[in-house]
Structure 1
Amino acid sequence: MVPTPYRVGVTAEGVEPDGTTLFGDIGLDRLTAAGLSWEVMPPAAGHAPAPEDLEPYDAVLSIGHLQFTREVVAAAPRLRHVARFGAGYDGIDLEALADAGVVVTNTPDAVRRPLAASAVTLLLALAHRLLENHAAATSGRWSERGRYRGAGIAGRTVGIIGLGSVGADVARLLAPFGARVVTQDRPSARDRAAELGIDCLPLEDLVAQSDYVVLTAALTPTSHHMVDAAFLKAMKPTAFLVNVARGGLVDQPALTAALADGSIAGAGLDVLDPEPPLPGDPLLGLPNVIVTPHALCWTEDFTRDVASSCLGALIDVAHGRRPAHPLNPRALDVTWPTVD
């Protein structure tokens, strides 16, 4: 039987030894009040935690994007739960963890609106040429104010690739702006698209018709670098790309080239590949791109709601209750010890 108290390891990326995170205080004392103990783990030497660092823990609160593979969890037989502080789970082998009886949870409801709002923020900034108008005003070029007229959104086509909970919320937020919203025709998207009243198009038609292409898709082996040179060439030269999902969806050198030679009009990127970008990355110096540091959705409500969901899942699993958002529910077939 796993010894008590139930122990939670908090990954060290962006976390101080006292549990203060780059998001601020996420309320780890809630774990203590529920009878769980927690501590910050040693910093990972690479992309995955060392098996020996996982050995003391029943659960891991994964603040960053460490990889959890079959080999890692096989060497940590005590581990029963990986709780993602956020929605993304690329790098986590869900089937391997289910085989080992390790449930993985995330916080999709808490992330949905802040991330969708971030996508719309970038879209609006591009549509109204916010950065160019700001620079003209602050540098005394008031006489140029008619030079930076944006394309606007009304009557334009917005193509959303990835109609999950975030993509669907982007569509809802855009509804009052008078845009035509379309999405990629996939079996998993059809029912949701019908509910939202938006059209499903083959990917090539979506790319060719869209004035704004918004990426909210998951990063998988098949979606990696889906936005490549051919994809960008098929876009309108007046079109914009918005990515709030994962940097790996985009072939970044190809995007840099397309932005530099005017093949597309611009881009709004909250995610890059790699992160942080390499010093001197030419993408960062282009005038037609807005780049934010994978943090645009980190509002106060994001932190509050993600923390509440994530900590709630840790407490539920520790006490033998089904968590709200299991990504590999087959792992829940395992009977776990509970906290005394």
Structure 2
Amino acid sequence: MTVVCAIDHRFEDLTLERGTLGAGVEVRDARGLGLDACADADGILVGARLRLDAAALAALPRCRAIVRYGVGVDNVDVEAAAAAGIWVAFVPDYCIEEVADHALAMLLALNRRLVALDATVREGSWGVPAGLPVHRLSECTLGVVGFGRIGEALGRRGAALGMTVLAADPVRPAAEIVAAGAEPVALDELVARADYVSLHAPPARDGGAVLSAERIATMKPGACVVNVARGGLVDEPALIAALASGALGGAALDVAAAEPLTPPNPLLEAPNVLVSPHAAWYSIEAVRELRTKAAAEVGRVLAGGEPRFAANRPVA
């Protein structure tokens, strides 16, 4: 019997995975168990927390496929897996609409100052507070950093609301960006021109912040930052300082450099910051799609094929 183990997950059952892989595969629930429960597995479905390094991979002699429930594979040593003859794959296309919608919702909340307005009502006031800056959205510029699936989806949403859309992406051809309704620009130009900078890029190769202190200093007075990608993309101390000084108008963050965000933290105390708990990806439909696509990737490998989205290529 072919064995696939699902480990480091939070699902109540594995009905979707079993239905996707079919009756000829034993799908074993190893949630809450150690990796030794997967010692005889031909394939593994894994979450984001369990670290699969070279030593862990050596304890999986039958394994031919490791598929991450999600986008990144930071917790898997992909080179060691390739040397061990194991495909590593992921699911990058399961929550495009959700993350784009979440970014847009955060942008709209910043634009309409919903957090501040909600607070004034709860404090007993009614009406528009004096000095609260609100600008017509259709006269604002949206800067999308990383114009992949999600970035492009946000760009389309912004354009539909009348915003001017700028896109900075070192990989995406300029012609494709133009065809999608955005203006291709360099990152520094985008940061300087945009009223809203929304981050949808992978981590920088050097591990540094894409929205660095130097770039934050060049942003327009009152501009806002939206980050639904990775916390490390933003220099958080510089962002906090710019928000506190009034140089920036606000920030909306679904991710942080260190998660979870817990008090005391200036980001949780600032009145012009909106936060959510790394939830931009979530919907009932997205979870279902993630699980079925992850299981299907394992199935492709076990049937002798290749995964759709591979992070490596086995050499053994």
Name the structure 1 match of 2:39: 55
Amino acid at match of 2:28: W
Quick one: which of 23, 26, 36 aligns to 2:26? 36
Residue 211 of structure 1 contacts residue 240 of structure 1 at CA under 8 Å; is this kept in 2? yes
Large movers: runs of 4+ above 6 Å? none
Distance of 1:164 and 1:99 partners within structure 2? 30
Distance of 2:119 and 2:263 partners within structure 1? 24
- Sort the Cα spacing of 1:34 and 1:126 in 2 relative to 1 into closer, same or farther, 3 A: farther
Cα offset for 1:91?
4.0
Name the structure 1 match of 2:62: 78
Distance of 1:101 and 1:194 partners within structure 2? 41
Name the structure 2 match of 1:246: 230
Cα offset for 1:297?
2.9
Tell me, yes or no, if structure 1 residue 5 matches structure 2 residue 2: yes
Give secondary structure in 2 for the equivalent of 1:159. strand
Q: Deviations over 1:235-261 (max 9, x none)?
A: 112100000001111222222222112
Tell me, yes or no, if structure 1 residue 197 matches structure 2 residue 186: no
Residue 6 of structure 1 contacts residue 318 of structure 1 at CA under 8 Å; is this kept in 2? no
Tell me, yes or no, if structure 1 residue 163 matches structure 2 residue 147: yes
- Sort the Cα spacing of 1:152 and 1:300 in 2 relative to 1 into closer, same or farther, 3 A: farther
Amino acid at match of 1:212: Y
Gap regions ≥5 residues in structure 2: none
Name the structure 1 match of 2:192: 208
Residue 6 of structure 1 contacts residue 35 of structure 1 at CA under 8 Å; is this kept in 2? yes
- Sort the Cα spacing of 1:101 and 1:292 in 2 relative to 1 into closer, same or farther, 3 A: same
Amino acid at match of 1:231: R
Q: Deviations over 1:136-193 (max 9, x none)?
A: 3344311336764522421211111111111111112222111111112524343431
Amino acid at match of 2:2: P
Residue 256 of structure 1 contacts residue 283 of structure 1 at CA under 8 Å; is this kept in 2? yes
Structure 1 residues 318-327 or 152-161, which shifts more?
318-327
Distance of 2:24 and 2:135 partners within structure 1? 53
Residue 143 of structure 2 contacts residue 198 of structure 2 at CA under 8 Å; is this kept in 1? yes
Name the structure 2 match of 1:117: 101
- Sort the Cα spacing of 1:239 and 1:220 in 2 relative to 1 into closer, same or farther, 3 A: same
Q: TM-score, normalised by structure 2?
A: 0.88
Give the RMSD, CA atoms, in angstroms. Answer: 2.6
Residue 26 of structure 1 contacts residue 307 of structure 1 at CA under 8 Å; is this kept in 2? no
* Aligned residue pair count: 315
Distance of 2:162 and 2:121 partners within structure 1? 29
Amino acid at match of 2:4: R
- Sort the Cα spacing of 1:147 and 1:181 in 2 relative to 1 into closer, same or farther, 3 A: same
Residue 113 of structure 1 contacts residue 169 of structure 1 at CA under 8 Å; is this kept in 2? yes
- Sort the Cα spacing of 1:56 and 1:148 in 2 relative to 1 into closer, same or farther, 3 A: farther
Name the structure 2 match of 1:337: none
Residue 10 of structure 1 contacts residue 41 of structure 1 at CA under 8 Å; is this kept in 2? yes
Give secondary structure in 2 for the equivalent of 1:109. coil
Distance of 1:26 and 1:136 partners within structure 2? 47
Residue 133 of structure 1 contacts residue 148 of structure 1 at CA under 8 Å; is this kept in 2? no
Residue 115 of structure 2 contacts residue 272 of structure 2 at CA under 8 Å; is this kept in 1? no
Q: Deviations over 1:266-303 (max 9, x none)?
A: 10100012111243112111000000000133112211
Q: TM-score, normalised by structure 1?
A: 0.82
Name the structure 1 match of 2:170: 186
Amino acid at match of 1:303: V
Gap regions ≥5 residues in structure 1: 45-49, 335-340
Tell me, yes or no, if structure 1 residue 131 matches structure 2 residue 139: no
Give secondary structure in 2 for the equivalent of 1:108. coil
Cα offset for 1:223?
5.1
Name the structure 1 match of 2:16: 27
Q: Deviations over 1:77-116 (max 9, x none)?
A: 3332221222233344434433332222222221211111
Quick one: which of 279, 286, 296 aligns to 2:270? 286
Quick one: which of 92, 101, 119 aligns to 1:108? 92
Residue 57 of structure 1 contacts residue 78 of structure 1 at CA under 8 Å; is this kept in 2? yes
Give secondary structure in 2 for the equivalent of 1:188. coil
Residue 161 of structure 1 contacts residue 213 of structure 1 at CA under 8 Å; is this kept in 2? yes
Name the structure 2 match of 1:325: 309
Identity, % of aligned positions: 32
